[in-house]
Amino acid sequence: MEHYTEIDSRRFLWVAALTIFVSVLAVLAVRSVAVRILHPNPAYLPLTVEPPVLDTILGVVAAIFVFIKVASYPNPARTYRRVAALALVVSFVPDVLLAESHGMGGGWPEACALMIMHVAVCVICITLLPRLGLTTGPQTRDSRDQPLSIL
């Protein structure tokens, strides 16, 4: 008998909310340590409170939608992790550009702090969403014919 993997729609909303919440907490923790160690220029907005929180919420919401999209693929957890790894590398580009240009008074130490935030959020997303959001079971005719829904 074949097995299927799908989003458990009964609990996915709380899994998504938990992922956002834990990601914001992780970013605030990394930010707090970075500010204590680096003492960044106050003009360096990426290490103030609001931009990292807003960027985290928007990034995790995007990650959730990507997860929903790849949930119907064969081996969705592996596919999601590969997409997330690529997105993580792309997310480093603005940080590298800020470090190289010394934009807003920052340099490589500040950019590395931002990259650590990105890695933390990526690890949270690739762990919580597949582990808590997917369910597997035997494939039945009815389960193959039903569209994916998170509601």
**Contacts for 30 with CB less than 8 Å, ≥ 6 apart:** 113, 116, 117, 120
H or E element in which residue 38 lies = helix 12-38
Q: Are 54 and 130 in contact (CB under 8 A)?
A: no
Q: What is the pTM of this model?
A: 0.86
Domain boundary assignment for the chain: 3-142
Query: pLDDT digits over 45-84, tens only?
Result: 999 999 999 999 999 999 999 999 999 899 999 999 999 9
Query: pLDDT digits over 75-126, tens only?
Result: 999 999 999 999 999 999 999 999 999 989 999 999 999 999 999 999 999 9
